[in-house]
Structure 1
Amino acid sequence: MLSTGWSRLSSTLSSGNRHHSQSLPFFTILQNAAGRAWSRRVAGNSFHYSTAHDQTVDNGIAGYESLVESSAADRCTRTPTCSAKPIRTKARARVSREKTRLSIYYLHPDSLIENDVKFSDAGRCTDACSQSIISDYDDDELGTVCVWGNPLLAQVSFRSQPQSHTRPRTLPQATSRAILYRNLTLLSCRIPPVTLPQLMDYHDLYPETQSTRSYNFLISMAIRTTSFGSVQWLLQSMAAANINKNLETHKLVIRWKIRMGAWEAAWQTLTASGVVSNVQNRSDDNASVGWPETLWSEFFGSLKRRSIRRKGVVMEEPDDPFIVYAQRFLFLMKNRPSFSLTHAKPRIIHSIAYILLQLQQQEEALQLVRTYFSNLPSRIAPETTGQCLDIIHILIVFGSRKRGLKKFHEHREILNSLLSLHSSFVPTSTTLFLLLGSLRRAMRSGVLASECLASFKRRWGKDIEDHRVRLRVASLALKEGRLDITSDMLADGRLANEQASSSIEPAVVYEHSTRRPRFKSIFRGTGKLVVHQIRLEKRVRRAKERRRTIKGVKNREHA
C-alpha cells in the first residue's frame, strides 16, 4: 500500500512536471527533488521491519533498536523540531501481527543538493524501486523507507549510515524466568538506555515467565527514576499475577514509601502487616534476631526532593529537619537489629554516619568510621572498597563546621587520616572533586586548587584528574581572578576531549554479567559538564575584554 501510494504520488509529480515545466514553483521543485532522493536511497539500502509488540511474541526481539522504536513510551506527543537531515518518526500505528510495516524517514528540503533540481524527469519512481522494497522486506538488515511528509511532526534523530550491512544484535527468546531477567538486564545496560516504559512493555509480553526477580528489577528501576506511579502499577500487576513477594520486594516497598515522604506510613505498614515475622520464618539460619538488617537500613533514607508534585505544591521535609532526623535516629537505634557495628555492612555505617553528620555530630561520626575501618580485614573486595570511599566522601563534604580555608584544611586532614587506615583505599577523581568544593569561600581558591591538583597527581597519578576536576579548578581560579589558571584548565579540557574523540574505543557491553551497572555508568551527565564549560569560557572572554577596556582607559588617562 505504501509503495502504491508513493508510485501514484511520483506519477502525479512527473506528469505535473511535463505539463507545467515552464512555470514550476520552487516548492514543487523541492518536492520533485525529494522524490529522486528517495529513489536513490531505495536503490542502496535494504529494509527491515520489527516491533516489540507484534514480532517479539513469535520470534523474540530482533535487536535493541526495534524495542526503542516501538515502545509505548513513544506514544506521547513529541516537540516539533526541524532539521537539515532526514527526520525519523517514532509515532506508532496499530497493525496486525500478520502484516509488516516499514520504518519511515521524512526528507527535509534543506538536505537536498543543487544537482537534485536539475534532473529531467523529476520525482519519478520506477517499478524496480517498489520491487526492491518488497524483495528486501524479509532481510534482517535494519532499513528505512523515505517518504515526503511534514518533518515538523517527527522527532530529530541523527543517524549515520553504516559502512557495511551487518546483522543486528539479537536477544534470545524469553522461554524461562532466567532468560527474561537476563534480557531485561542487557536492555537496561544499553547506551543510550532503554526507558522504563519500554522495559515494562517487553516484560508484559511474557506473562508465563515473569517472576519475583523480574518484578523487583523493574520496581528498583522505577524508584531510581522517580516513577512512583509505575511502582504502584507494578505491585498491583504482581499481585494480580499471584507472584509472591520476597525480602527484596518488601525492602523496595519501604524505599518507595520513604522516597515519597511517607516515613511513618512505611514503618506502620511494615509492622502492622507482619512482614518481619513472615520474612524471618522464610529466611535461613543466618537471619539476625529482631529486625532484618536490609529492611532496617532502608529507614535511614529520606524524601527525594522535588520528585512529588501534587496540585502545584512540591512535597518537602518539615521545616525543622534537625528534630525530625534526631527523632528518627533515636527510634532506629532503639529498634536496631542485634549485630555489631564493627562487623556491619558498609552501607549501614554510611547511613548512620550520614544522619550523625546531619545532626551536627561530626566527632561521633568520624569516630564511628575510624573504628569501623580499623576492624576491616586486610583484604577486601573492590565493591567494599568503593562503598568505604563513599563513606569517606560524606565526611569530606559534611565533616567540618568551619568555613573558608580552615574547612579545606580540616577536610584534607580527615581524608589523609582515613586513607591511611587501609591499604586498599585509593582516592578517585570524585574524592578530589568533593575536596575542592571546600575552597568555594576561600580567598586564594584558584591557587590552592591548582596546587592541590598538582599534589594529588604526583601522589596518585594522572587518572585523578578528569573533566569535572578541571572545570572546578577553572571555576575557582576565575573567582579569584586568575585567568591564566582558568585558561590552562580549559585548554587541557579541550585537548583531553579531542584525544578522547580521536581514539575509537569499543562500546562496553555487559554480556557475561546479570547485574545491572550503576546508573552513573549509563546516565553520565556529560551534557551538564559541556554547558558548564561553555559558560566558563564566556565568563573568561568577558573578563578578558573587561580587563582590556580598563587597561585602555588607564592608558588614555596617562596619555
Structure 2
Amino acid sequence: MLSSNLCHSLTFKNLPTLPALIDYHDSYPQYRSTDSYNFLIELSIRHAQFGTTHWLLDAMIHDRLPRDLTTRILEVRWLVRTGKWETAWTRVTGLRPEDALDKPLRNGLPSPTITVPCEMWKELLGTTKRGAIRRRSGVRRDPDKESNDHDHFPPLEIVDDPAVGTKAYVRRRHLLGCLRPTFTSSKKLVRPKLVNAAVSHSLRNGEGFAAEALAHSYLSQLPSKVRDETAAQCMDIIHTLLKADIKCGLKSFRANQGRLMSLLTTHPSLKPSSTTLRLILLPLQSVFKSGTIANDVAGRFQKHWGDQIIDNSVKSLIVKLAEKEGRMDIVEKMLHEERCNQRMVRTRAVPQSTLPLPDPRGLRRPPDRELFSCPISSNILWDKLKARVRRKQRADNQERVE
C-alpha cells in the first residue's frame, strides 16, 4: 500500500519533493517494505542525492528488511555513480579485483571468467555522475610562511571516470572483460541499444572476439517472439560487428559472410536489410573481380530475402564495383533497372479522388520534407553516376576507333 501511494504521488500536478516523500514514508513505519525503500532509493539516485541514498540503505538495514535483486542493482548503480567502480565490481562478483586480476597476471595465469546476471552487468557499464561528486586533494601551504589558520585550500576536484588510455582505464576494461552476462534470468528484456553500445566499446578496445561472443550470447537468448522494432535494433548489433572488418578485401568479405550467417541462425526474427547487404559488399572495393562477386551475392540475397533488400544504395555500390572491374554489362543492367523503376514511378496513375484540393490561401511554399526529400538526392546521385558511366563509355569508344 505504501509503495503504491508513493508511485501514485508522481502523477500529481504539483510533484512532491524527495524530502516530502521520505517524511511521508517515515510516518508509517508499519507499512514500510523493500519495494517502498527501492522506490525512494531509485528516486534519490535519479536526482543525484547520493547522501540520501546512503541514508536510505542504512535505514533499510535498521528496519531489518531483506534486500532483493532490485536493491542490489540500485546499490551497484549508486556505487558506480559516486565513482566507486571497483567496489561496485566487488559487490557484483563477490571477488576483489586483486584476486581476480592482479594475482593471475603475476602468476602468468589467465583471468577467470565470471558469470553475472545481465541486470548487474549493465549497471557496471554506467559512468560517474559528472559534477556531482567532488573531493579535495589536500591543503596547499605557503613554504615561506609558518603554518597558521589561514591555509589556502585548493579548489575541489571533480571525480570523473578514468581517461581513455590511462592505466585505470585499461584496468577497468580488463575487469569488465572477466564478466560474462547471462540473459536468461532477466525478467525484462535488456535493450538492444545497450548491448550495441557494449559491443562497440569492446571493438574500439580491440576485443573483437569478446564483442562477437557477447552479441551471439544476447541474440541466442532472445524470447521466441520479438517486435519488428526490436529485431531491427538487434540487426544493428550485427551491423556494428560487420563495420569493424571491412578493410581487408576478400578476407574480410568471407569473414563477414560467415559472421552474418552464424548470427542470423540465433533467432528466426533476424532478417538482413539493404544496409546488411551493403556492409557485406563494402570489403570488395579492393578485390579484382569485385563487380562479378557483388552481383552474384546480391542475386543470392534477393532470392532468399526478397527484392526489397536491393535498394538504390546497394545498386549504386554494385555499379561502382562493376565499373571498376570493367563489367559494363552489369552496369547497363543496373542502370536499365533503375530507369524502369523511375518510369514506373512517373507513370503511376493517381485516382482523381485522391488528388489534393487547391489551397484556398493561394500559392505557398511546400514544407522542407517535400522540398528536400530523400528521392531527390538519390536521383541526383544516380544522374552523376550515369554521367560518369557515359563519359567512360565515350572514352572507350574513342580508344577503339583510334
- Residue 388 of structure 2 is aligned to residue 539 of structure 1: yes
The one-letter code of the counterpart of 1:419 is L
Q: Which residue does 2:262 correspond to in 1?
A: 417
Alpha-carbon separation, structure 1, partners of 2:338 and 2:206: 38
Q: Which residue does 1:493 correspond to in 2?
A: 338
Q: Which residue does 1:512 correspond to in 2?
A: none
Superimposed CA distance per residue, residues 475-496 of structure 1 (whole angstroms, 9 cap, x where no aligned partner): 1111212222112112212222
Map 1:106-505; keep pairs closer than 5 Å: 274=48, 288-289=73-74, 290-291=76-77, 323=165, 327=169, 330=172, 340=182, 343=186, 344-398=190-244, 400=245, 403-503=248-348
Alpha-carbon separation, structure 2, partners of 1:325 and 1:489: 53
Superimposed CA distance per residue, residues 202-236 of structure 1 (whole angstroms, 9 cap, x where no aligned partner): xxxxxxxxxx99xxxxxxxxxxxxxxxxxxxxxxx
Per the normalisation by structure 1, the TM-score is 0.39
SS at match of 1:323: coil
**How far off is 1:410 after superposition?**
0.8
* RMSD, aligned α-carbons: 4.6
The one-letter code of the counterpart of 1:546 is A
Q: Does the 8 Å contact 1:297/1:351 carry over to 2? A: no
Alpha-carbon separation, structure 1, partners of 2:308 and 2:46: 51
Superimposed CA distance per residue, residues 250-303 of structure 1 (whole angstroms, 9 cap, x where no aligned partner): xxxxxxxxxxxxxxxxxxxx999825677998xxx9573222889976769xxx
Alpha-carbon separation, structure 2, partners of 1:426 and 1:487: 29
The one-letter code of the counterpart of 1:532 is L
Alpha-carbon separation, structure 1, partners of 2:215 and 2:201: 13
What are structure 2's unaligned runs of at least 5 residues? 1-9, 19-43, 57-68, 79-118, 129-162, 356-368
Superimposed CA distance per residue, residues 289-332 of structure 1 (whole angstroms, 9 cap, x where no aligned partner): 222889976769xxxxxxxxxxxxxxxxxxxx973799389369
SS at match of 1:458: helix
The one-letter code of the counterpart of 2:292 is V
Report the CA distance shift for 1:347/1:451 in structure 2 as closer, same or farther (over 3 A): same
Q: Which residue does 1:201 correspond to in 2?
A: none
The one-letter code of the counterpart of 2:331 is T
SS at match of 2:77: coil
Q: Does the 8 Å contact 1:471/1:490 carry over to 2? A: no
Alpha-carbon separation, structure 2, partners of 1:503 and 1:324: 61
Alpha-carbon separation, structure 2, partners of 1:458 and 1:375: 28
Q: Does the 8 Å contact 2:235/2:270 carry over to 1? A: yes
**How far off is 1:454 after superposition?**
0.6
Alpha-carbon separation, structure 2, partners of 1:326 and 1:530: 51
Alpha-carbon separation, structure 1, partners of 2:289 and 2:233: 33
**How far off is 1:536 after superposition?**
1.1
Q: Does the 8 Å contact 1:446/1:480 carry over to 2? A: yes
Q: Does the 8 Å contact 2:183/2:221 carry over to 1? A: no
Which structure has the higher relative contact order (CA within 8 Å, separation 6+)? 1
Report the CA distance shift for 1:490/1:340 in structure 2 as closer, same or farther (over 3 A): same
Report the CA distance shift for 1:552/1:504 in structure 2 as closer, same or farther (over 3 A): same
Alpha-carbon separation, structure 2, partners of 1:465 and 1:325: 46
Superimposed CA distance per residue, residues 359-380 of structure 1 (whole angstroms, 9 cap, x where no aligned partner): 2221111111111112112222
513, 530, 549: which is aligned to 2:398?
549
**How far off is 1:457 after superposition?**
1.0
Q: Which residue does 1:207 correspond to in 2?
A: none
**How far off is 1:391 after superposition?**
0.5
Alpha-carbon separation, structure 1, partners of 2:218 and 2:288: 36
Per the normalisation by structure 2, the TM-score is 0.53
Report the CA distance shift for 1:276/1:452 in structure 2 as closer, same or farther (over 3 A): farther
**How far off is 1:545 after superposition?**
0.9
The one-letter code of the counterpart of 1:330 is R
